[in-house]
Amino acid sequence: MRLFLKIFAGLFTILFGYAMVVQFNDPDAFKWIGYYGMATLASILFLLKQLKAFTYFILGGFFLVLCYMYWPEAFEGVQLDQGMKTENIEKGRESLGSLIAAIVLFIYGIATFFNKR
């Protein structure tokens, strides 16, 4: 299980880092670079066993709030192949990315909590 968590965290370190890079063409790029930067740093610190479970739960909660805040008024999907057609699609992408980050951070928190016992 520990090997799986290391591979999982390594994969999400790369994915969150990639998400930071592709934000440069976004209208609110610096905000999302910061958000995904936090997720990337949390993934790195999980690999290094440097944070307490409580910290991951707080960060996961933060990303859940972001998911709620960015949820579009009318969900139109995420349509990755056609660029940003509407604001609802962009908000759907931002909300989905926040939800993925929240789930990953909660997994880190649970794993850290049970590894300390």
What pLDDT sits at residue 73?
Answer: 82
Task: Give the count of alpha carbons within 13 A of 6, CB side only.
Answer: 5
pTM over 0.85: yes
What pLDDT sits at residue 82?
Answer: 58
What pLDDT sits at residue 114?
Answer: 93
As a whole number of angstroms, the distance between CA 80 and CA 61 comes to: 26
Asked whether the beta carbons of 45 and 16 are under 8 A apart, the reply is no
Task: Write down the mean pLDDT value for the chain.
Answer: 89
**What is the pLDDT averaged over residues 41-63?**
96
- Say yes or no to pLDDT of 25 above 90: no
